[in-house]
Structure 1
Amino acid sequence: MPVRLSAIGVLISIASVAVAIPTQAQTTNPISGHWRTADGAAVVEIKPCAQTLCGRLVWVREGADARDERNPDRSRRSAPICGLNVFSGFRSDEGGRWTGGSIYDPEAGRAISGVSLGARGDALTLTVGRGVFAGSETWRRAPAPSRPCQAR
């Protein structure tokens, strides 16, 4: 009988490892990478920054000469948006989403807070607000641009 219990113990151990491997893979950050915005006008690279996520524009349809013309700080309006940090402060919550950060929208010239991020496969969903006041947008995973912006 001890041999049989040992065999069962080995099978349970193997099954535990098989279950743990996908779980570990899922706990890695699925949001890191390059994402094309819903309108296709930009690619944002999202990556870990200490305990948070941050992101910067690495490609914009308008080209490297596009400027942050709507920035509320007049002194920054001549700065290029290519390479601009647009995501900051997102922290992982227990539900697998990233919350608490903000996104700077150069088209509107303002930062948007109250955004949560969730990735599933090749889709990244950005949600702002809750309930009937919520809105969302889906971005798609993209390859690294062949002609990225210069890092700032």
Structure 2
Amino acid sequence: MIEIRPATPADVPLILRLVRELAEFEREPDAVKATEPMLEQALFGERPAAEAVIAEVDGTPAGFALFFQNFSTWTGRPGIYLEDLYVTPAARGAGVGTALLRHLAGVALDRGCGRFEWAVLDWNQPAIDFYRAMGAVGMDEWRVQRVAGDSLARLAGR
């Protein structure tokens, strides 16, 4: 049986392990700079920046989703942005990804959100197909923009 539960501070090592597995899957194994203290502060600190849920199959961790609230000026309502969704290889095909997405869709509705959004790598066709089957619509006309590291500091004038 699949159970989705809110993450707790005790889950931080598990979340970091799953983030690292996700990075490996996404062909960026060295990109993870997060540490347990960083995740603990971000998820459970005085002013949490994100939330996470853990999926378990018969009590064994099988995946997680990490998300945060955003806001749409056009709808005048908050939304949920899914930063990461990961299902362990052993649990793939068992409905864990579907359960995580359904759970977060319910969270979005319960919170009065107008949108539930996420990004997917363009080469990950199985994920794209899965998301389409779940009712997601590609926003192909939008291009993600990012400023990080030295470029972020330069943009801030620092």
- Shorter-chain TM-score bucket reads under 0.3
Between Structure 1 and Structure 2, which shows a larger proportion of helix residues?
A: 2
User: TM-score, with normalisation over the residues of structure 2?
Assistant: 0.27
What's the TM-score once normalised by structure 1's chain length? 0.28
Is the radius of gyration larger for structure 1 or structure 2?
A: 1
Q: More strand per residue: 1 or 2? A: 1
